[in-house]
Structure 1
Amino acid sequence: MHSPLGLTLLLVLYAASVSAGSLDGIYGIVNRRIPQHSNGFTFELTNGTGDAFVVSDTRGHSGGITVHLSLAINMEVAFISLIFSFSYVTEIGGVDIWWTGSRLHELPSPLPSVGAPLTGSSIVPYRYHFNTVTFGYTTAFWTFDKWSLLLDWLALRGVNLPLAWVGYEAILIETFREVGLTDADIRSFLSGPAFQPWNRFGNIQGAWGGELPMQWVNDQLALQKQIVARMVELGMTPILPSFTGFVPRAMTTLSPNASIVNGSQWSGFPSSLTNVTFLEPFDPLFPQIQKSFIAKQQAAYGNVSHFYTLDQYNENDPFSGNTSYLASITSNTFASLREADPEAIWVMQGWLFFNSLAFWTDERVEAFLGGVPEDDSMLILDLYSEAQPQWNRTNSYFGKSWVWCELHDFGGNMGMEGNLPAIITGPIASLNWPGSSMKGIGLSMEGQELGNEIVYDIVLDQAWSPSALNISGYVEKWVSRRYPVKSLPPAAQKAWSLLSTTVYNNQNPNTQATIKSIFEKAPALTGLANITGHHTTIISYDTNSTVLTALKLLVQASDQNRALKDIPEFVFDMVEFSRQLLANRFLDTYGALVETYNSPVSTPNQVSSLGDVLLDLLQDVETLLATNENYLLSTWISDARQWDHGNASYGSYLEYNARNQLTLWGPTGEINDYASKQWSGLVGGYYQTRWQSFLSYLVGIKTTGEAYNATLIAQDMLAIGEAWDRRTWGTRQGETSGTKGDTFEVVTSILSRWA
């Protein structure tokens, strides 16, 4: 009835229910990631409910694997996420796919035997991924090559509901043109490429550094068509944009009788760039625009989803706190979605309820959510569940469906941190809470940087276990897959076991976010250390007994098995542990500097000596990061400039956007250093310059006895930032693309100096 050779699908029951194109995703991911085994799997579709699977050896065929799938499941997701990630390829094959690249091609041949059948099922219908701002902090300048790896990673980890924002502006522009807005009106509203998420949120309007070119808009639309097609091919349901209500200010002139209000100021931006104009949903123009937008979007991508992301009050309070007003906002917004798509489901972030606790009282939250009929017609992302959950204070969002999310990372900052106990017990407790309306588990980090991958893996894996995963056992298997060498030295396992109980066991909700190194912040005598919240600078563990010890264990492991030096993930971790060690040493030395400077008996030479240590640390950070391709500023800039179509001035515009987001985040440093990164070229070319200037200033005024002038320092840092943002890559001495130096030699030097 089927051949044991070849990738075949045996439709045991209800064969007609499987679409003709359902094999595309299976063939695609096999050809991309494990082409040598494309003939080793057989699939059988059986009657069942939910997302479930059974994996066993193929009868009568040595080296063959049979997968029994529930009829209820999407075929691509069944093969990819269930089979590869949660059973055969990881547990039996011992390989995995990482943000640093795929190791699936190392699956043994012939295929290892399963033995006792493997079974599994998801505990929630939705596995979610992305934050709206990830499309600025991480993926802003990606081409489809990078998207392809990430989408495979998502599929292999069971994600079936990803956010899909790329290309939004193209649809919006056509919709605005249709109602009579001119291109000049629209250009005055749209933001630059690196800042579009906050324009979509209604936080900012307009641009600095130049208006958004149509070339960018058109290129992003073409990219989105590729992304959405791949998501669908992989069995995912993309969450697509919708019309939120934010409009160019010219709309007030074009439609003077329309119900239009201005939003609040956001993060200190001048009124010309914020106070975004909002067309209220109960105005008849709102559903007209919504219907046009969704129709154009369906024409562009196909009728591929009924999930729509729509956030109207992200870090902006509503025009009125009256409960009937709030209910009218949501009821009319939802009515506009259903008029455009009768099956529409509204997806929104729950961040507003935490970010503005004073405004969003329980009564207002209930009225706002109550404006949407039927609990399953809305899906709320409880964005910061691991530290600041809102589902519990809102009585499970008053019955609306919601997703338990891990936020963890703000602005794409880079620092080792996590709370593994919370993210394995939190989802289970939330799901089992009496009356819970939780329907999903997901990731919502602001920036998807490469560190802390174990945190994100375990969140998505927990979506497939009805009980809390065993951390020690999970870490052991995870490390074995991450470093797939014969005879993995125990030291490698010991390093991660140590970190899992210390660095990744931070149970203080006030410091549960990626640790931001203070050398990324504008230098000052106060306000850098002991910061809690989104950008915590507190080290919650002893550096010597954790990070330093773990780094030494990795070095020991590489000495015992030199094959580890050829594993990209191992090399990355060597850099990551070393980077964190140096960042922590910088914090300690900075504390000594401040204490010495403030001492009335200290000398300028003592201040200068400690300043030299800080600069030495920064130079070693720069040298370390330059050895690994995942830590290069040049990659971020080249990713931006690759869209310039050979137009140098357009390339410079894109580069300015890329630089400004990392540094001033606004024309005059409105949210300065929010999206800072520890990248080679940024550390040595920007942070080091600022600290050199600051330290020279401290020595100078210590010598003369002048008073410390914080305003003068801030002005100097702003001037340095503005000058750096306007540069073009490669015009300064030492700015080169690509890696330089040997990671293991640099790590040896670091240990000799800073251990």
Structure 2
Amino acid sequence: MSSGDGPLWADTVRGLAHRVLGPVAESVRFAARDGGGREYAYEAARGVLTIAATDGVSASVALHHYLRDRCGASVGWDTVLPLGLTSLPDAPLREGSARVREGYYFNFCTFSYTMPYWDWADWEREIDWMALHGITMPLAVTGHEAALHAAYSLLGLDDQRIRSFLGGPGYLPFQFMGCLDGFAGPLPSSWIESHRELGARVLDRERAFGMTPVLPAFTGHVPYEIASTARAGRRHWQGFETWVLDPADPLYERIGAEIARAQIKLFGTDHVYAADPFIEMIPIDADPAFPGAVAAATLAGLRAADPDAVWLMQAWPFSYQRDFWTEERVNAFLDAIPDDRMIVADLWAEHDPLWGRFREFSGKPWLWCALLNFGGRTDPGADLRGVPAGIDAALAAAGPPAGLGLSMEATRNNPVFFELVADQIWDEVPDLDAWLDAFVTRRYGTGHGTGDRWTDELRAAWRGLLDTVYAARGVRIAPDQFQGVLTTNPSYARIPDGVAELRDEAARVLWYEPAVLARAWERMIEVAEHDPALQAGPLGHDLVEVGVAFMARVADRYHLDAVEESVRLGAASAPGLDRFLRVFDDLDRVLACRPEYTFRHWESKALSWAADTADRDVLADNARRIITVWGTSDSPLLDDYAGRHWSGLVGGYYRDRWALWASGLDRALAAPDASTASEAELRERLRERAEVFLREGPAPAPRDLGDLAAESRRLFTAHASAFEPNER
């Protein structure tokens, strides 16, 4: 029993209830429920809500379902808490059972693109969200650097060399995956201890809910000092070189075991470990049997430290490098591992499901996961109607998934998509339109103090979104596709001969009628104008997200118009370029109204971990670098991969780049034969501009801002007519 009333998990869920409900949480009671899977039952009478559940996560789901079904409120990433409930309405008995055993969460990349600089308050809020949405198996990498430091210390490396190998704190998850090392560091010594403590606290809370955290494991990647005296090979990823042990070398198993033991000593274990030894890198030996040897060595190292170890692997390589990962190679790899020792995460199943191609992964337990977001890009877009059908097909397979997962590279974007996936851990969605209406009602509902006054307008707005940005049927939403000019590095390469190609690119990202999107945006603005209190919660986030969606396409249009007019005139069109550049300034003002859409918020979170000036320099560099050039300023391989529509980037970094492009357009047009020289000069000026940003950060925030509704209205009024026929 717990120290309070009820089962062991009751105090933990009671704490969540207080954070969500405030004082009215005193009227919630918890009890244990027997069941073979994850189950709950709730009922409410005379102001008291009673929840019986098999585990803490199921109890949290029950609380959330009660709030949604009986109170018209839901808890999202951006919901203002506690909710404004003063009493708990009566509810008849409702019982629920999960459709799948597990709800998986995160991607290694998420820990770089969303939460590298989070503190406990951020994590507590996130773990509450996880419990309320049925997450039972979260990836947990916070503090793993402490385990690596301890293991490599035992292997004879000194502190300075280990911290140099680990590199910058913002890039640690890529180090854990074996993609790079020694980059953008060294790792501050203060970081290791502070994040060991934070990681332990995160794990304690997740386990208190009854979750099964998934800890990182060894991938074969080692420092050069170890590789130089062992059987090892070099690997390359996006311009970075690393060293990986041959699985035949006894060191592979030994180091894997040392890291696992160090981690268990620091953090305990739930016996599930994530390792991706082939993530976006071809194995160092092309022999079809070689991946199986890697599997055997990886599992042997884990089992030497934990006899009950189960390996969880992301199936991403089988999609990303599908020419190498033939069915023969994948099956040989999977067949080398006992079925009860591996879980496979089908990472991008909403777009490129692999479970059918590889026979439900040869009998291994597997997870149907939705990725959607790469790098934390902030423009909304998804195929909402395709999600329920994809999940239902997987669950109807001969070997259905053991769980559903959210494997986005960054959170806090496209919440409707990820809520839709999470809902299906527990409930089928046979009618998407009905689901969306309910989602809208709850997202802006009585828990936010609005009642039903604006429900019809907001539902109409979301139907417009469902018919536009969220109707991306068959669209490959990925960074290697054109994302729009706002976050694109400028170039003269296709001027003047490539204008038709530019127009085709712009058309491919406009698969819908922009006037419908504009009307949806205006409906949201009208609600915010009439009920300003809503701006603090989800409506404020959605206003910005929809504004970004529309303005990204406006920027594409104005850019193309300016290029076409300049080519026709044989000289840069000043009016056209001015109109194009004005988009950056105007959008930046709207973005500045929400902290999560500002670069300074991101950087201030990073700097909050600095213990001294040296730490501050590393943390500022990491925060600025990963969302701009990513690597070095002279490498184009990952430049703008994590392109963010953030104030300080849109009105500063991105605008400055396009202003440089505009200032050289006359020369590029006047001397087409010298276009190579013009492009080379532009590339150097852009590199210099990037270096300035890395040293100095963004320009000051916009001044004299109105509230979000006023700034959104101003932006809408200035640009909503961009796609009307006379606006050319």
Q: Same fold (TM over 0.5)?
A: yes
Check if 1:44 corresponds to 2:31: yes
Check if 1:56 corresponds to 2:43: yes
Counterpart selection for 1:197 from 173, 179, 199: 173
Partner of 1:135: 111
Query: Contact conserved, 1:506 with 1:512, CA < 8 A, in 2?
Result: no
Tell me the CA shift for residue 205 of structure 1: 1.8
What letter matches 2:220 in structure 1? G
Query: Contact conserved, 1:124 with 1:441, CA < 8 A, in 2?
Result: yes
Query: Contact conserved, 1:172 with 1:293, CA < 8 A, in 2?
Result: yes
Check if 1:554 corresponds to 2:530: no
Partner of 1:84: 63
How many Å separate the matches in 1 of 2:223 and 2:653? Answer: 36
Check if 1:751 corresponds to 2:716: yes
Query: Contact conserved, 1:400 with 1:437, CA < 8 A, in 2?
Result: no
Query: Contact conserved, 2:19 with 2:82, CA < 8 A, in 1?
Result: no
Query: Helix, strand or coil for the counterpart of 1:442?
Result: strand
Call closer, same or farther: CA 1:103–1:181 in 2, change over 3 Å.
closer
Counterpart selection for 1:442 from 398, 402, 405: 405
Partner of 1:475: 436
CA distances 1:334-373 after superposition (whole Å, capped 9, x unpaired): 1221221111110111000011111100000001111111
Q: Give the fraction of aligned pairs with identical amino acids, expressed as a percent.
A: 28
Call closer, same or farther: CA 1:625–1:728 in 2, change over 3 Å.
closer
Query: Helix, strand or coil for the counterpart of 1:579?
Result: helix
Tell me the CA shift for residue 176 of structure 1: 1.0
Tell me the CA shift for residue 739 of structure 1: 9.5
Work out the number of aligned pairs and report it: 704
CA distances 1:553-573 after superposition (whole Å, capped 9, x unpaired): 1233345x4255455211222
Partner of 2:726: none
How many Å separate the matches in 2 of 1:281 and 1:699? Answer: 58
Q: More deviation in 614-623 or 469-478?
A: 469-478
Partner of 2:395: 431
CA distances 1:661-681 after superposition (whole Å, capped 9, x unpaired): 111111233411111211111
Partner of 1:418: 382
Partner of 1:320: 285
TM-score (norm 1): 0.88
Matches within 5 A, 1:177-576: 177-208=153-184, 210-253=185-228, 256=229, 258-263=230-235, 265-267=236-238, 269=239, 274-303=240-269, 305-373=270-338, 375-434=339-398, 436-448=399-411, 450-465=412-427, 467-484=428-445, 485-489=450-454, 490-511=456-477, 516-525=483-492, 538-559=508-529, 561-562=530-531, 565-576=534-545
Tell me the CA shift for residue 509 of structure 1: 4.1
What letter matches 1:143 in structure 2? D
Query: Contact conserved, 1:543 with 1:581, CA < 8 A, in 2?
Result: no
Partner of 1:105: 83
Tell me the CA shift for residue 721 of structure 1: 0.6
How many Å separate the matches in 2 of 1:7 and 1:90? Answer: 27
Tell me the CA shift for residue 468 of structure 1: 3.4
What letter matches 2:197 in structure 1? A
Tell me the CA shift for residue 172 of structure 1: 0.6
Q: More deviation in 674-683 or 542-551?
A: 542-551
Query: Contact conserved, 2:318 with 2:325, CA < 8 A, in 1?
Result: yes
Call closer, same or farther: CA 1:506–1:232 in 2, change over 3 Å.
same
Query: Contact conserved, 2:256 with 2:298, CA < 8 A, in 1?
Result: no
Partner of 1:35: 22
Query: Helix, strand or coil for the counterpart of 1:630?
Result: helix
How many Å separate the matches in 2 of 1:407 and 1:204? Answer: 22
How many Å separate the matches in 2 of 1:244 and 1:511? Answer: 29
Tell me the CA shift for residue 120 of structure 1: 1.5
Query: Contact conserved, 2:19 with 2:81, CA < 8 A, in 1?
Result: no
How many Å separate the matches in 2 of 1:298 and 1:536? Answer: 51
Matches within 5 A, 1:672-711: 672-702=639-669, 707-708=674-675, 709-711=678-680
How many Å separate the matches in 2 of 1:696 and 1:584? Answer: 23
CA distances 1:651-697 after superposition (whole Å, capped 9, x unpaired): 12210111111111112334111112111111122111111110011
Partner of 1:720: 689
TM-score (norm 2): 0.92
Query: Contact conserved, 1:205 with 1:276, CA < 8 A, in 2?
Result: yes
Call closer, same or farther: CA 1:332–1:580 in 2, change over 3 Å.
same
Query: Helix, strand or coil for the counterpart of 1:640?
Result: helix
Call closer, same or farther: CA 1:565–1:104 in 2, change over 3 Å.
closer
Q: More deviation in 647-656 or 657-666?
A: 647-656
Tell me the CA shift for residue 283 of structure 1: 2.5
Call closer, same or farther: CA 1:460–1:384 in 2, change over 3 Å.
same
Call closer, same or farther: CA 1:704–1:378 in 2, change over 3 Å.
closer
How many Å separate the matches in 1 of 2:261 and 2:293? Answer: 24
Call closer, same or farther: CA 1:84–1:232 in 2, change over 3 Å.
same
CA distances 1:16-61 after superposition (whole Å, capped 9, x unpaired): xx54xx3331232123222312332233334321111222235xxx
Query: Helix, strand or coil for the counterpart of 2:367?
Result: strand
Query: Helix, strand or coil for the counterpart of 1:338?
Result: helix
How many Å separate the matches in 2 of 1:727 and 1:512? Answer: 30
Check if 1:67 corresponds to 2:34: no
Counterpart selection for 2:131 from 155, 163, 171: 155
In structure 2, runs of 5+ residues without a counterpart are: 721-728
CA distances 1:132-177 after superposition (whole Å, capped 9, x unpaired): 0111111111111111111111111000100111111111111011
Call closer, same or farther: CA 1:563–1:598 in 2, change over 3 Å.
closer
How many Å separate the matches in 2 of 1:131 and 1:531? Answer: 35
Partner of 2:723: none
Tell me the CA shift for residue 182 of structure 1: 3.1
Query: Helix, strand or coil for the counterpart of 1:250?
Result: helix
Call closer, same or farther: CA 1:288–1:558 in 2, change over 3 Å.
closer
Tell me the CA shift for residue 183 of structure 1: 3.3
Check if 1:590 corresponds to 2:590: no
Query: Helix, strand or coil for the counterpart of 2:91?
Result: coil
Call closer, same or farther: CA 1:225–1:23 in 2, change over 3 Å.
same
Query: Contact conserved, 1:529 with 1:537, CA < 8 A, in 2?
Result: no
How many Å separate the matches in 2 of 1:482 and 1:328? Answer: 49
Query: Helix, strand or coil for the counterpart of 2:15?
Result: helix
RMSD: 2.6
Q: More deviation in 625-634 or 697-706?
A: 697-706
What letter matches 2:647 in structure 1? S
CA distances 1:79-106 after superposition (whole Å, capped 9, x unpaired): 21x2123x21111122222212344522
Query: Contact conserved, 1:407 with 1:444, CA < 8 A, in 2?
Result: yes
How many Å separate the matches in 1 of 2:684 and 2:517? Answer: 36
Query: Contact conserved, 1:327 with 1:369, CA < 8 A, in 2?
Result: yes
Tell me the CA shift for residue 508 of structure 1: 1.2
Call closer, same or farther: CA 1:185–1:250 in 2, change over 3 Å.
farther
Query: Helix, strand or coil for the counterpart of 2:165?
Result: coil
Call closer, same or farther: CA 1:443–1:104 in 2, change over 3 Å.
same
What letter matches 2:216 in structure 1? P
In structure 1, runs of 5+ residues without a counterpart are: 1-5, 10-17
How many Å separate the matches in 1 of 2:12 and 2:506? Answer: 41
How many Å separate the matches in 1 of 2:179 and 2:365? Answer: 26
